[in-house]
Amino acid sequence: MLCVASGLARPWRAEHAQARLSAGTGHPGTMEPCDSPESTPRQNASSNLKDYFLASTPWQKRLESVRKQTSFVQTTPRRKVPECSQLQETIDPHKLAFLLHKQWTLYSLTPLYKFSYTNLKEYSRLLSAFVAAEKQKGLAVEVGEDFNIKVIFSTLLGIKGTPRDSEAFLVQILSKSQLPSKNREDKVLWTGWFCCIFGDSFLETVSEDFTCLPLFLANGSESNTAIIGTWFQKTFDCYFSRLAINAFNLSWMAAMWTACKMDHYMATTEFLWSVPCSPQSLDISYAVHPEDAKALWDSVHKTPGEVTQEEVDLFMDCLCSHFHRHFKIHLSATRLVRVSTSVASAHTDGKIKILCHKYLIGVLAYLTELAVFQIE
């Protein structure tokens, strides 16, 4: 894997700025320090990202040319910069913390037929029996029997974009502890949650007999996910489908999440590109200091409160041009497979990790949009 750390965009640290290119087999996302005095840079990158793109350079002329030559009609996709939802303030802090910093696998889900929030306890009982039966591989299991495994349904109040959105809910498979009741603490084996954020347009297309929760996120073994999915499909006549994230949508995520205002940055902004090679693929990991990424975004951002397709393209083109300037590698010939910011990280295979509670609803809103698009 090739690992690259970008030059810094703060003038008072320009003398320490450097870009590094190294070959290795480290974990994709492991970045070498960009300003270590003990390391010898392969190539000097003292010019910073923001100044480079704002100065009178060949690339700046290229950006102006793009703006002049490309016509963007009113149907150009544009989305709001993610904001903190007032409804989110009602979320149980313990449940909110439980949802963050975990890797979730994404699925789209068709509407649930005859689902009722008043029957969650009954669903817990029925699904517990179903899971136990599946684990017993065909042995007879009666509903209500005391198993070592139990399933719990619970609502996630506040995980919605508008009051019209269906209430989100959580499903957990727990392993019962064999300790005395006073010291008992059940172990979480698997977790999944269902939600719909700003799904008004989707809600208008279905009858009242259906509950729309198009986005499903799972954490745990695929075998447990398959068991839960089978029960839901049989019980509510719905259908699950893995939700992949293509490079186009990863670029949107990178731009929208970079545009978010942060009280403090918790993680480096990273991009992972995959290069098709033989006999095995090559990965290029590109790390940018989050303040540099925000400065670059501010230099191309022209529509307050919104993100447009033109801005996303310019943002990504600037990053790729900066990379090519130092390493003579055209990232446009590769495939973007992962983005990681202080807000969240996402992988093309449909994996997401939400890091910032402030923008939880904003992240879920875009994922809901992708899920609905896949269903329709």
User: Which segments of the chain does DSSP mark as H helices, in order?
Assistant: 49-54, 58-69, 93-99, 120-135, 200-203, 222-236, 247-259, 290-300, 309-327, 360-375
CA–CA dist 376, 199 (Å, integer): 13
Who has greater pLDDT, 1 or 308? 308
Who has greater pLDDT, 70 or 5? 5
Looking at residue 142, its pLDDT comes to 55
Looking at residue 64, its pLDDT comes to 47
Q: What's the mean pLDDT in 27-53?
A: 37
- pLDDT tens, 158-211? 999 888 999 999 999 998 766 666 566 788 999 999 999 998 877 777 888 999
Q: What's the mean pLDDT in 298-313?
A: 92
What is the residue-averaged pLDDT of the chain? Answer: 79
**φ, ψ (nearest 5 deg) of residue 249:** -75, -30
Least reliable range by pLDDT among 151-155, 274-278, 346-350? 274-278
Looking at residue 307, its pLDDT comes to 93
- Per cent of the chain over pLDDT 70 is 73
Who has greater pLDDT, 27 or 364? 364
CA–CA dist 368, 202 (Å, integer): 10
CA–CA dist 321, 65 (Å, integer): 15
| Predicted structure pTM score | 0.79
Least reliable range by pLDDT among 74-88, 124-138, 225-239? 74-88
Who has greater pLDDT, 235 or 264? 235
